[in-house]
Amino acid sequence: MRWFWIDRYDEFVRCKRAVAVKAVSLAEEHLHDHFPGAAVMPNSLVIEGFAQAAGLLVIDAIDFARQVVLAKVAKADFRFDAAPGDVLRYEVEILQLGESVSIVKAASTVGERLHGEAELVFGHLVEGEMVPKLMSKAELMGWLDSLRVFEVGVEPDGSPIIYDRLPHVT
């Protein structure tokens, strides 16, 4: 089973930045297990939301050439707990995009309030004997489709991203 910690993208600027949204719901099982009697979304899952929002931005930026994995949380700071009913807005920005590593700045807000900030380091791994295939390009494209990237995605110059160069998602 895969867990998704973002619900959709509201902005996606190829190779630069993205904005994703996560609605925190009382129906989510982990909220009841983390602190019994005080339902909050664990900050570790907020970091995973950052990583998913940023990781998809990074893998698109490198044209799906390598597997992208969260290698390090360089720093993270949270100001309050996200609770059921909150809508987390994840803003991620690529600070450095290299051949084997990327650095991304991430921030979350609830309404106008800054909730958290982090700096994430992603490794770009070549699939092979020591590196398993984590998700196929078709699986990634399906995920991007369900998160509305095809609707909101733009090139750095503001023109719509043309995804016909990638495998067709059925």
Residue 41 bridge partners (DSSP): 82
Where in the chain are the domains?
Answer: 8-154
Tally of CB atoms within 10 A around 161 = 16
In the CATH scheme, what is the homologous superfamily, with its name and number, of domain 8-154? Answer: Hotdog Thioesterase (3.10.129.10)
Question: Would you tell me the crossing angle of helices 137-146 and 43-61 to the nearest 10 degrees?
Answer: 120
Please report where in the chains the tokens 């990638």 appear, as a residue.
166
The tens digit of pLDDT for each residue in 10-60 reads: 999 999 999 999 999 988 887 777 777 888 999 999 999 999 999 999 999
In order of 29, 47, 57, 138, the CA distances from 82 in angstroms are 15, 12, 24, 33
**Mean pLDDT value of segment 149-167:** 83
* Distance, CA of 55 to CA of 9 (rounded, Å): 13
* Distance, CA of 34 to CA of 139 (rounded, Å): 30
The tens digit of pLDDT for each residue in 91-136 reads: 999 999 999 999 999 999 999 999 999 999 999 998 876 777 788 8
Q: What percent of the chain has pLDDT over 70?
A: 94
Q: What is the pLDDT of residue 16?
A: 98
Q: What is the pTM of this model?
A: 0.91
| 58 close to 104: Cβ distance less than 8 angstroms | yes
- Give the pLDDT band (50/70/90) at residue 164: low
- Give the pLDDT band (50/70/90) at residue 2: low
Catalytic site positions: 34
